[in-house]
Amino acid sequence: MGKNVIISGGSRGLGKALSGRIYEMGYGVSTFSRTMVDSQVEEDGKKYITTRADIRYENDIVRVLDRTKSIAGGADILILSAGVAARKQDILRSSVITMRKVYETNVFANFNLMSEAIRYFGLKMVVFITSDVSFNNYPGWGVYGSSKAALDYIIKQASMETVSPVFLSINPGDMDTEMHSEADPESDASDLISADEGARRVISAIMQEMEI
């Protein structure tokens, strides 16, 4: 794994779990979300940077990259963990407004962050947190699943056209997170894995790829 890792959506769910685990492993972390405050700590030469920023806004993305460079010196890996899910609903009953909101974050904002970070740092790896709903159809998950499928396609296309960085789409499994419960309040949480277990799976997949 690289020396410094940028992780979007670090205030809750998988993003928060990934940030904590990766930092505990000895790597520098720069994470951000709309609800975070700007802070930085250093321990044993590794830095943990938080930034209040909204992935949907260009100026906020640039600010995250600037803070990462000025405080940590750069970044090697980007993990695209930020995402939103619409309330579970049949696709033809979903509004265009809902679709635009989900696509704005899950596709356009993530694509912009990825593109800017690659140009800014010359990243070694980009990791997209995908879901099985991007390649399997489930009732009520059409808006979220189609947005994930769209960025999955972009990741595969970039991987075909670009030698570096390495691009990965990782599906950690269905997780018991705030986002999941907001989209499907009636779901049985006993069937879901924890965000910490999801983070473990993501990190394991990254480490396997780095060893190749």
Count up the domains in the chain and report the number: 1
Distance CA 128, CA 199 (A): 13
- Token pair for 162: 């670009």
Q: CATH number of the domain that 28 lies in? A: 3.40.50.720
pLDDT digits (tens, 9 = 90+) for 54-109: 999 999 999 999 999 999 999 999 999 999 888 889 999 999 999 999 999 999 99
pLDDT digits (tens, 9 = 90+) for 109-153: 999 999 999 999 999 999 999 998 888 898 988 999 999 999 999
Strand duo 125-129 + 77-80: pairing: parallel
The residue written with tokens 């960085």 in the block is 165
H/E stretch holding 126 reads strand 125-129
Range of the domain at 41: 4-208
